[in-house]
Amino acid sequence: MTSSTPERAVSSKGLVLGVDLGTTTVKACLVSPEGSAVSSLSRETKATLASDLGSLGSEQDAHKICTALQFCLSQLPKEQLARVARVAVSGQMHGVVLWRHGSGWKRNAFGRFDVDVVSALYTWQDGRCSAAFLDALPKPRSHLRLSSGHGCATLFWLLKHRARELERFDRAGAVQDLVVAMLCGLDKPVMSTQTAASWGYFDTVAGQWNTELLREAGFLVDLLPDVVEPGAVAGRLEHPWYGIPAGTPVHAALGDMQCSALSVGAGETDAVLNMSTSAQLSFLLEPSFVPPPPSVEAGSALEAFPYFGGRYLAVAASLNGGNVLAVFVRMLQQWMHQLGTGIPESAIWERLLAAGTDERASANAQASSAATPPPPDLVVTPTVFGERHTPGARASVSGIGPQSALSLGPVLRALCQGLARNLHTMMPREMLERAGVRRIVGTGKALTRNVCLQQAVHDVYGIPLELGGKGDAALGAALAVLSHSSSAKA
């Protein structure tokens, strides 16, 4: 990893621009030196691409992601953008996008960037790497598992099945690394240890890629980005950008999971539950924690990911979160269409969440009345997308009987309970208690907007759940710069 050099701190009048490039939404947030958000804007990317692999592929259009980001910048107050003293970026982990040096992007006469010779973004949801394919790859010298959707696994697959396509490119990174390289005009991308760990084949203790192991396996090691610690400066704005002055430091992009956890201000006795597209439940490990040596054992749902200040988060990272609820909503919409009634997806969400609120009140009333026993519960196993430790898992519904309540509210309750139970199997209450966790801080739209899901989490864990307000990864990225910046320059 690259060593550090001194950099000036954010001035008392300077703002930090925090950016998050999420799976479905991008957000830009201007943050004061005291850590409060002064302006923010988000926009859906609508970047999903049809994959030639069908449902196995999960690809997005990097151009649309960059366009959505720059739309957000264009709508923020110009006088505030002129005061930006640092740029902090976070984004979806694991994914990989490729580009060609010298032609990955271009800047038009109005100062807007457009990506040019760039591949699709292969996201963390990509399922092209089968269990047999992964088993045939060299075992990583890392305490972290390798799964489909991880950057290095995807690159191995492309090398075997799309070698000619791969020859078009000579640079690779997460989409947030592409944005940082674009803003700074970097010759080679820079990646934080947080994202590198999520790619696979990265030793977090040594801070190095498994370069020799990969080279022996025929991997194109020149594609691997330079790696720096979280908080390091990757470069400086090459040109003015929507009023932000040229020369403004841009930090190496961070992981959205870590930034989301940081944004809610969780303490040593807190666990953080982030439920947006996917779901992550995490808590801070002791400062003395050192990842164990690589193991050939598989099947553990828990992993330890780099956080800030040399510490690690214990993480149960589920592939199933708000995306499962979205599948349910699309199913309802399709059924309604087939029955001859069209209804917008937004209206289904509105009625579904209202039904969930009513169901919570009804469940509480039933619990207080011993005279009316509740009907048999549905049991939903919600692993529509499998899990990294059990990639072959699928969803199921059981417990349907003649007295089962099958209206919208009870079905939503069963689905939410299933999501909470799935997390509990990965990180049970007893583990949280042994770690001294006394509170779960919740964040992410899938959780904060859904009282039925909030109740399910509380019921399953029996630990107080408090919502983390407006905590999000864009804010967390800015806070990381303010509180954990090493000012290391690549």
Distance CA 85, CA 81 (A): 9
Residue 300 has what pLDDT?
75
Does the domain spanning 322-467 belong to CATH 1.20.58? yes
- Higher per-residue confidence, 297 vs 138: 138
Helix, strand, coil fractions of the chain, as percent rounded to 5: 35, 20, 45
Q: What is the pLDDT of residues 142-164, one digit of tens each?
A: 999 999 999 999 999 999 999 99
Of the pLDDT bands very low, low, confident and very high (cuts 50, 70, 90), residue 438 is very high
Domain limits, the chain: 15-261+472-484, 322-467
User: Collapsing DSSP states into helix, strand and coil, what is residue 111?
Assistant: coil
Which of 261-270, 384-393, 480-489 bottoms out in mean pLDDT, i.e. has the lowest?
Answer: 480-489
In CATH terms, 15-261+472-484 corresponds, of 3.40.50.1980, 3.20.20.140, 3.30.420.40, 3.40.50.620, to 3.30.420.40
- Higher per-residue confidence, 295 vs 32: 32
Give the pLDDT mean for 346-353. 93
Judge whether residue 124 has pLDDT over 50: yes
Distance CA 405, CA 344 (A): 25
Residue 488 has what pLDDT?
43
Give the pLDDT mean for 446-461. 95
Q: Which 8-state DSSP code applies to residue 56? A: G
Of the pLDDT bands very low, low, confident and very high (cuts 50, 70, 90), residue 265 is confident
Residue 350 has what pLDDT?
93
| Residue among 423, 376, 414 at smallest CA distance from 396 | 414
Residue 489 has what pLDDT?
45
Which residues, at least 6 apart from 23, have a Cβ–Cβ distance to it below 8 Å? 92, 123, 124, 125, 276, 277, 278
Of the pLDDT bands very low, low, confident and very high (cuts 50, 70, 90), residue 362 is low
Residue 301 has what pLDDT?
83
Residue 376 has what pLDDT?
54
Residue 11 has what pLDDT?
54
Q: Is 371 exposed, middle or buried (0-12, 13-18, 19+ CB in 10 A)?
A: exposed
Judge whether residue 8 has pLDDT over 60: no
Q: Which DSSP string corresponds to 197-223?
A: HHHSSEETTTTEE-HHHHHHTT--GGG
Judge whether residue 367 has pLDDT over 70: no
Contact 176, 195 (CB under 8 A): yes
- Higher per-residue confidence, 111 vs 161: 161
Instruction: Calculate what percentage of the chain has a pLDDT beyond 90.
Output: 80
Residue 486 has what pLDDT?
56
Distance CA 27, CA 41 (A): 6
Distance CA 119, CA 100 (A): 9
Q: How many residues does the chain have?
A: 490
Residue 4 has what pLDDT?
36
Residue 28 has what pLDDT?
98
Burial 237-256 (b: 16+ CB within 10 A, else e): beeebbbbeeebbbbbbbbb
This prediction has a pTM of 0.88
Of the pLDDT bands very low, low, confident and very high (cuts 50, 70, 90), residue 405 is confident
